Chains A and B, each alone.
Chain A
């Protein structure tokens, strides 16, 4: 049975004895109507609650009660019908009424027990009741993670470390890559210094353009500039001369050397 007698409370009071009348006010069930798992569950409750013989169900009384509860139960507070809940229950109402009316028909003399219109309903009720009890039993069985603790001692997973295989080709390939990268680096260095010489060439030309003639030694600030820069500066002057952009002149031996823009004018 779904509920023991002591589980049932009406307006806060535990029901201690079965009501003499078969009829329970539908309001009593309203509160926990949604806890029923469907029409079969509700019917079973009504049958077991009233100690009805499941094999000889008084259809008229049962149908009347069922309909009363369902009418209450499937409505929400604003009395609107909760459709998703109602469908299954209303289908059962139809079935109950059908059975009831078939029972009203006069019985032929050769009526067999199997022809009882209630037979299918009884079969379903009993099967559902068995499933309900089976579900309770399954629920009560000890389960892993709840009542059963599986032993799992700690174990540091150790896997064999295999040495990585190296082919001669892999080695050659790696060496080629190293060379390639080294070459790339060297190239970059050359490019940088070239750019530097070009930069100094522009710089000197700009000064000559502004100042006209400049004495050679003025272009070399030996106190503040590093050797590398001095060399680059010198290379820039040579390059400018080679390209004929400047003219370098000296009056005589050991006299100051002058630089000036080479103009055709």
Chain B
């Protein structure tokens, strides 16, 4: 197709280029990725505007254009999930409570060491627990605490945010919500 130029007619063409790229990506595309589509002939504000328009274009259709930590992606609207799920009857096994609690501690208290996690949970951390989360690419080591033994500091990854449909950690439910009583000072 002809390279779109700057005019109303061609901004529609550009929007369709974005749409095709996002629909075929299968993973989030960042603004930088999307700018490559136009070989540097588009400004960021224009791009953002087109993406907003695209979101509206799809409002009445089957997919949502959402923004997550690493960029933009199309995903099925939630009402279709129960149907689509039937195509994959083999559901992923649920994570154990130990895994989810460890993840919650890392998400809300990061960066933390294994010792920090053990202190909060009151039990030793099973290395398997950490490994499962690392393999899922939900957490990684971001450094070492400068104390004897230089323990690894764990934090959540952007992929974790992507998988939970979040743009940033601040979109997690606030931790205070979970406190059952006023914390004693």
Binding site for B on A (CB under 8 A): 37-41, 54-55, 87-88, 92, 113-114, 119, 122-124, 126-139, 141-155
Contacts and interface: CB of A to CB of B under 8 A. Distances in A.
A129 B23 CA distance: 42
A54 B181 contact: yes
Contacts of B26: 150-152
A94 to B, nearest CB: 13
A144 B108 contact: no
B165 interface: yes
B63 A128 contact: no
Interface stretch (B5-13, B35-43, B77-85): B77-85
Contacts of B179: 126, 129-130
B41 to A, nearest CB: 19
Given A38-B122, A55-B181, A141-B164, A149 B75 contact: yes
A151 B108 contact: no
Given A37-B121, A134-B108, A142-B165, A122 B92 contact: no
Contacts, number: 137
Contacts of A114: 185
A131 B81 contact: no
B180 interface: yes
Contacts of A133: 178, 180
6 contacts: A128-B121, A130-B180, A137-B104, A139-B100, A146-B85, A152-B24
B122 A88 contact: yes
Interface in B158-182: 162-165, 172-173, 175, 178-181
B181 A150 contact: no
B74 interface: yes
A70 to B, nearest CB: 13
A226 B63 CA distance: 82
A136 B94 CA distance: 12
Q: Label chain A's interface by main secondary structure.
A: helix
Given A134-B104, A141-B164, 15 more contacts: A37-B101, A37-B123, A39-B122, A119-B184, A130-B175, A131-B104, A139-B94, A141-B165, A144-B162, A146-B92, A149-B76, A149-B80, A151-B76, A153-B23, A154-B24
B183 interface: yes
Contacts of B30: none
Contacts of B185: 114
Interface residues of B, number: 49
Interface of B: 22-27, 63, 73-76, 78, 80-81, 84-85, 91-92, 94-95, 97-98, 100-101, 103-105, 107-108, 119-124, 162-165, 172-173, 175, 178-181, 183-185
Select the residue from A41, A136, A152 with max chain B CB neighbours within 10 A: A152
A137 B124 CA distance: 23
A74 to B, nearest CB: 13
A165 to B, nearest CB: 25
A142 B181 CA distance: 28
Contacts of B73: 150-151
B81 A150 contact: no
Select the residue from A131, A152, A153 with max chain B CB neighbours within 10 A: A131
